[in-house]
Amino acid sequence: MSKINNMSIDWNKKYLKNKIYLDKKIKIDISTKIFPNNFIIGSTKIGINCIFLPNNFLQNCTIKNNVTIHNSVLSDCEVGVGCKIGVFSHLRDGVKLGKNCKIGNFCEIKNSTLGDGCKMSHLAYVGDSEIGKNCNIGCGVVFANYDGTKKQKIIVGDNVFIGSNSILIAPLNIADGTYICAGSVVTENTNVNDFVIGRVKAVHKANKAIGRYCPTDHQNQKSQNECIVS
């Protein structure tokens, strides 16, 4: 790797012109591409052939080779080879990603490890957890790691599927091959290849919706009492 501060003055000026701030302490390979509006500070180390698309903030991170990051915030974490991060991802202290992970829109990870090939594509939170290889964390999944007084840990094995809008309540152990259906609340440990479903059955009450919702009619200014659903 080449230290940024050992590059020529002209090279640094080019980056400043493009609204890129690179701390003197960082180490970065010259093959990495950095787009405008990136802020990289601290003891950050960046490997070869990485791509930093616009609007990232990195502090004290280790970024391995062939990583792409877009519009995200990373601090005190390690990102494995071939990972794709963003947009709008937040990787906090203590995060370690294996190879070829995907962390997508509005995801937050804190003090957790994810094994190779894990996917967490949108709107999810993982904290104080160990997750194995090739796991899928669906949209809206929450690892509920705080019980009101202290943080608890969740351990997830390999090849686990966690469906959308599921909540895992720590402390918890999810065994290899577990399949958790969307909308489940999981409070008990699972065994290998368990199929887990924990939804409340929906109750349909005929005509009970009448009068409960009245779309605003700005022209006629109907009141809630005047709203009749046919």
> Which 3 state secondary structure label does DSSP give 224?
helix
> Which 3 state secondary structure label does DSSP give 169?
strand
Separation of alpha carbons 166 and 199, rounded Å: 10
Cβ(157)–Cβ(175) below 8 Å:
yes
Separation of alpha carbons 119 and 86, rounded Å: 12
Point out the residues that are catalytic.
122
Cβ(33)–Cβ(54) below 8 Å:
no
Q: For residue 185, say if its preceding peptide bond is cis, omega within 30 degrees of 0.
A: no
Cβ(159)–Cβ(180) below 8 Å:
no
Cβ(175)–Cβ(162) below 8 Å:
no
